[in-house]
Amino acid sequence: MRRFLPLLLVVLGAAVATAAAAALSARWWFAAGPLLATACLGVRDLLQRGRSVTRNHPLLGRLRYPTVRALPRGAGPEHPADAAGEHDGHEYLVPSLRPVEAAEEPPVVRVGGPDCSQPYDMALLNVSAMSFGALSSRAVLALNRGAALGRFAQDTGEGGLSEHHLRGGGDLVWEIGTGYFGCRTSDGGFDERVFADKAALPEVKCVSLKLSQGAAPGSDSVLPGVKVGVEIARERGVPVGEPVVSPPVHRTFSTPRELVLFLARLRELAGGKPTGFKLCVGSRREFLAVCRAMAAEGVTPDFVVVDGSEGGTGAAPAEFAGRLGMPLTQGLITVHNALAGVGLRDRVRIGASGRVASGSDIVRRLVQGADYTNAARAMMLAVGCVRAGRCHTGACPAGVATQDPSRARALHVAGKAREVRRYQRETVRDAVRIMAAMGVREPGGLTPAHLVRRTGPGAECSYAELYEWLAPGELLAGPPESWAADWKAADPDSFG
């Protein structure tokens, strides 16, 4: 409760000075006046609901985080795009001299291939995977309620399907990681029966198998012991106060073929709900091996979420971030081309995550091969994150990335849910307006020619010229020379 000490001292000081002014001399009002005003300010900080950080740190929160407003909106100075540092002056989207009227209703993307019996209409921007554990229960709930208000989806993250994910009525993508939290046998394996029961819940719209993520490809991810309270421990089936380690590999498969067969099994257990996987692409050959397995087994995931190496995390060695795996642009283009090359692109939707924060980010990613996008850190800002950099300590001043109930209580769920909804709505609206200015009404109308990169002084190239774009089935018919070696080496029975 040291957080409230400054306010307490000010209130005491104000009381003493006021008493002295009344009893001793009117001069004391010179001290009592400012102290009373400061005390009022502090009490107001404590009672207001807009800024969690000043609720948690009355008075001092103003000094330490003076510029962070409660919510991201439009393209203001606190726009999440600024946080993500994503303003690439080397690229621009191509406007049209024949713009069209922006679509009234934001477009949605139907996710569900031929083996899916319960397709889901995904919004253009959704809440990316963040577990209850990395985030507080209130942050999870606020994101979920925001998703329900705005009719978009929240990915649960690999920490399991908690009651907080289910309380707000939002659509869920249930993520299963290597720890199989939420559907885990006592020895840490995958429990089919428990999975099937939970996947049947109406809130669960899709199932996502996490292979890797941008900030931590191929590494253990660790939830620090300080964040493992009773509820998290119960949720994940682990001891209280001890770090939770998600192992680097899955126990349920060890080859690309086994992976796609496992995906098919998951979809079957989930009653035909869309089932896919998330990865940060490491090598083209490895992903091609998965595509070969899809083609060989006649099994496709309903979606693939590509995470860029620039992605964030609640639980990874800092050294990994941004240093392993393909950045989102490269990863997306690789996955899009590989699926197109094996003739499966029309069956598999591609999601993209990695510093997506603004409308133009969405459109850029659509041009590069995505069908929809997810945002994690921008959504954290929407629920009040002040970028204090203390996620791993459990002492988040905004109540977002903490398991300390006294800190989390500062996050006002209903208010933050509205911010989440507003942020998503405005950002998608911006994307739709940008597309309209480019002469495009639907994402399907975007082509690689719509994005241009400056490649040198006075020189520029569109993505259509910069990258190779494979025609449907081209790898099967005869791969171009630049793909031939990887295609030949890709083995559906080995990740390589």
Output 195 or 487, the one with its CB closest to ligand FMN. Answer: 195
Least Å distance, CB 314 to ligand FMN, is: 3
Output 328 or 432, the one with its CB closest to ligand FMN. Answer: 328
Output 60 or 391, the one with its CB closest to ligand FMN. Answer: 391
Least Å distance, CB 369 to ligand FMN, is: 17
Query: Residues 408, 399: contact at Cβ < 8 Å?
Result: yes
Least Å distance, CB 385 to ligand FMN, is: 9
Q: How far apart are CA 149 and CA 413, in angstroms?
A: 13
Helices 5-23 and 29-47, axial angle in degrees (round to 10): 150
Least Å distance, CB 356 to ligand FMN, is: 6
Output 325 or 354, the one with its CB closest to ligand FMN. Answer: 354
Q: How far apart are CA 138 and CA 308, in angstroms?
A: 27
Q: How far apart are CA 22 and CA 440, in angstroms?
A: 72
Please identify the residue of the shown chain whose CB is closest to the bound ligand FMN.
157
Output 327 or 473, the one with its CB closest to ligand FMN. Answer: 327
Task: Enumerate the β-bridge partners of residue 123.
Answer: 108
Q: From start to end of 240-384, where are the E strands?
A: 244-246, 275-279, 303-307, 349-353, 372-375
Output 56 or 131, the one with its CB closest to ligand FMN. Answer: 131
Output 60 or 223, the one with its CB closest to ligand FMN. Answer: 223
Query: Residues 321, 215: contact at Cβ < 8 Å?
Result: yes
Least Å distance, CB 305 to ligand FMN, is: 8
Least Å distance, CB 259 to ligand FMN, is: 16
Q: How far apart are CA 150 and CA 207, in angstroms?
A: 20
Least Å distance, CB 392 to ligand FMN, is: 10
Site of tokens 């001290």: 31
Site of tokens 């909106």: 73
Q: How far apart are CA 377 and CA 363, in angstroms?
A: 18
> Which residues sit at the interface with ligand FMN, rule CB under 6 A?
84, 128-131, 134, 157-159, 175, 210, 213-214, 278, 307, 311-314, 353-356, 375-378, 391, 401
Query: Residues 348, 336: contact at Cβ < 8 Å?
Result: no
- DSSP letter for 289, please: H
Output 36 or 306, the one with its CB closest to ligand FMN. Answer: 306
**Burial annotation 78-90 (CB, 10 A radius, 16+ → b, else e):** bbbbbbbebeeee
Site of tokens 């490491």: 282
Least Å distance, CB 45 to ligand FMN, is: 26
